[in-house]
Amino acid sequence: MEKKEAPKSSLDALVSLCKRRGFIFQSSEIYGGFAGFWDYGPLGCEMKRNIKDSWWRFTVRDREDVEGLDASIIMHPAIWKASGHLDTFSDPMSMCKGNCRKLMRADQIWDLFEESALRETLAGMLGEAGKIATWCKGKGKAVAPGLYTVQHPEYLEKIFEKLKTITDVKELFILLATPEGEPEVLPCPNCGGVMTEPRPFNLMFKTIVGPVEDPSNVAYLRPETAQAIFADFSNVMVSSRQMPPFGIGQVGKSFRNEVTPRNYIFRSREFEQMEVEFFIKPDEAVELLCGHVAPLTETTDLSEPQADWGWECWHKYWVEQRKIWLVKNGLPEDSFVEYWQKPDELAHYARACVDIEYRFPFGVQELEGIAARSDFDLSRHQEHSGKSMEVFDEPLKLAVKKLSDEEKAAFRAKVVAEWEARGKTAEAANIFIDRLFEGRYIPHVIEPSAGVDRMALAMLCNAYEEQKLIDEKGKEDIRTVLHLAPAIAPIKVGVFPLVKNKPELYNFAREIFKKLQRRYNCFWDESGAIGRRYRRQDEIGTPFCVTVDFDTLEKDGTVTLRDRDTMQQERISVDDLIRRLDDLILG
Ligand code: ATP
């Protein structure tokens, strides 16, 4: 078959495939759905599990310097006070004062307008004052009943001349929504009403622990997995006999009461995260131990961690590690970008933060982030819990012992100056140095933090293709295929008997299926023409199909092994099949 350029696929087509084939369903669909919540069906939950397994293997199990953790979702509420989530984990929220009373994230109002049908309608009438007036008095009543000019059409006469000159659709929307004589308003993209001033809205879900509904029993569903890692830092370090640099990884559910969950599973209220807190020595400790801190340059070799790395090398190392994982799992390097947050975008305690952004069909958006968070988190927990979060570093103490008084004084002067240059006090610097000279410090942290659901969406978007094929007779056909990486694909191998009415052939295929099923998730399909069976597997991303046909039994004992992406089939002996599939699937 000849292959032709495929039409660009939209998110709608993917959403429909995901429902039809059992990847993702709307939560509580039989009751009309529940905004911001999603269910993963038979194939979706396999795919999600594969993403988490691959992350866990690469980030935790295959490394000697990362330990795992599975902490509880509901934790002592004091954790959220210490972390700052109780006071500052909020989004600016506005409510429509007009007809629809909708709540929206204030910073997303114009994005929602851009995506709305109302915008398209207004854009189509730009500069045509007469048309706009007719629309406000007619169709506008149904589409934008909250709009001031729809409710007060007499005002249209006063702004008629201005309506002729406006060339910007946003400006037009504001003009039509602003009541006569009042300052410009923020209009509701849903009904045209006026939005309230933004107010902070805390995103944590509250619950009550115990039988008494008292404010003292309020607890929260965790909005991130990271804080449990900090709270368990000492337990993990001591029990696993680790010392910085080492990390703790966790995969699990997080909950955020997002004001406007949107873009399918991109922003949900219940989602899963895969996070590592990688604890490192402060740069000052590295300097005392190694005599210097390795500078991060264009040519720094980041393939293997080194003892003289400071936070900059460690941070960049984790950015590179995450990119290696993404590419290994099927996202091509040109499908995402590295966005280095600018100094004024960084949280006050962060030294750097890189967002890895993926080109989703709805725009380039954050897939995951890698932040250098200094010692902020552990310091806060030390302060709030009264428990020490310091580590005692024997080699550091010994290194300090070897310094002369002059060398110590020079080191102190240098560090105080550096801290002051970063806006910290000399007093704080001196307390830190005194502890450091005793071999004690609070570790700093690098935090690679990814979302499982966003990752699944990026992988599905990247994998989806509608291929236009032309057969030997010149007939056009569309092949829908998910080019998922074998490690991520929910089903690894489809096994088919060519026909089902030849017991010997059927049983032979069945035996192969049983054997392969012990190694990977396989699918048995005996119904329909073989071409249709291949297509059904292509559509769900199954990378390989094995068919037992007449030649298997009558000639050479070989089966066909078909590749999803090339659609090529090769004959392979049953004895070689497992070894070959292991190479192709497990890598
Ligand atoms: P955003 O700016 O998109 O709200 P964030 O910067 O608040 O994200 P983090 O707190 O850094 O996100 O969370 C780490 C990762 O968790 C994100 O990169 C994303 O993959 C995932 N994540 C965060 N919020 C959600 C959500 N509401 N739905 C799905 N995934 C999420």
Q: Looking at the DSSP assignment, which residues form a beta bridge with residue 497?
A: 548
User: Do 451 and 545 sit in the same domain of this protein?
Assistant: no
Q: How far is the CA of 451 from the centre of ligand 1 (A)?
A: 6
User: Do 80 and 224 sit in the same domain of this protein?
Assistant: yes
Per-residue confidence at 205, pLDDT binned at 50, 70, 90?
very high
User: Do 167 and 256 sit in the same domain of this protein?
Assistant: no
Round the CA-based radius of gyration of the chain to a whole number and report it.
30
- The predicted pLDDT at position 474 comes to 86
Structural domains counted in the chain: 3
Q: Poorest-confidence range of 282-296, 397-411, 443-457, 541-555?
A: 541-555
And the tokens for 382? 């030390």
**230 lies in a domain?**
yes
User: Do 139 and 67 sit in the same domain of this protein?
Assistant: no
User: Do 291 and 249 sit in the same domain of this protein?
Assistant: yes
And the tokens for 118? 């109302």
- In this structure, the dihedral spanned by the alpha carbons of residues 503, 504, 505 and 506, taken in order and rounded to 10 degrees, is 40
Per-residue confidence at 556, pLDDT binned at 50, 70, 90?
confident
Q: What integer is the mean pLDDT of 14-24?
A: 98
Question: Among residues of the chain, what percentage have pLDDT more than 70?
Answer: 98
410-426 pLDDT, tens digit each: 999 999 999 999 999 99
Burial tier of 53 (Cβ tally within 10 Å: 0-12, 13-18, 19+): middle
Q: How far is the CA of 365 from the centre of ligand 1 (A)?
A: 10
Task: Say whether 486 sits in a helix, a strand or coil.
Answer: coil
- The predicted pLDDT at position 557 comes to 83
Tell the residue nearest (CA) to atom 24 of ligand 1: 267
**Which residue is listed with tokens 């909950």?**
255
- The predicted pLDDT at position 554 comes to 82
Ligand 1 pocket test target in 271, 354, 377 with most atoms within 8 Å of CB? 271
Q: How far is the CA of 18 from the centre of ligand 1 (A)?
A: 22
84-128 pLDDT, tens digit each: 999 988 888 999 998 899 989 898 899 999 989 999 999 999 999
Res 6 pLDDT > 50: no
Q: Which of 355, 540, 316, 260 is nearest to 446 (CA)?
A: 316
Q: How far apart are CA 405 and CA 418, in angstroms?
A: 20
Q: How far is the CA of 73 from the centre of ligand 1 (A)?
A: 17
Per-residue confidence at 330, pLDDT binned at 50, 70, 90?
very high
Q: How far is the CA of 47 from the centre of ligand 1 (A)?
A: 20
Q: What integer is the mean pLDDT of 507-524?
A: 96
- One-letter amino acid for residue 492 of the chain: K
Tell the residue nearest (CA) to atom 26 of ligand 1: 267
Q: How far is the CA of 576 from the centre of ligand 1 (A)?
A: 44
258-290 pLDDT, tens digit each: 988 889 999 999 999 999 999 999 999 999 999
Q: What integer is the mean pLDDT of 351-364?
A: 96
Q: Provide the greatest CA pair distance for the chain.
A: 91
Residues with CB under 6 Å of ligand 1 are 224, 256, 258, 267-268, 271, 273, 366-369, 449-451, 453-454
- The predicted pLDDT at position 285 comes to 98
Q: How far is the CA of 364 from the centre of ligand 1 (A)?
A: 14
- The predicted pLDDT at position 49 comes to 98
User: Do 236 and 194 sit in the same domain of this protein?
Assistant: no
User: Do 225 and 327 sit in the same domain of this protein?
Assistant: yes
Instruction: Report the chain's mean pLDDT, rounded to a whole number.
Output: 94
Tell the residue nearest (CA) to atom 1 of ligand 1: 366
Ligand 1 pocket test target in 337, 454, 457 with most atoms within 8 Å of CB? 454
Answer whether 176's CB lies under 8 Å from 182's CB.
no
- The predicted pLDDT at position 4 comes to 41
User: Do 233 and 380 sit in the same domain of this protein?
Assistant: yes
User: Do 452 and 314 sit in the same domain of this protein?
Assistant: yes
User: Do 226 and 361 sit in the same domain of this protein?
Assistant: yes
Neighbouring C-beta atoms of residue 363, cutoff 10 Å? 12
What ligand 1 atom has the least distance to the C-alpha of 275?
Answer: 14
Where in the sequence is the domain holding 155, given as residue range(s)? 90-200
- The predicted pLDDT at position 363 comes to 92
User: Do 180 and 94 sit in the same domain of this protein?
Assistant: yes
Q: What integer is the mean pLDDT of 430-454?
A: 98
Q: What integer is the mean pLDDT of 158-175?
A: 94
Res 553 pLDDT > 90: no
User: Do 151 and 239 sit in the same domain of this protein?
Assistant: no
**476 lies in a domain?**
no
- The predicted pLDDT at position 9 comes to 47
- The strand pair at 464-470 and 103-105 is best described as unpaired
- The predicted pLDDT at position 559 comes to 95
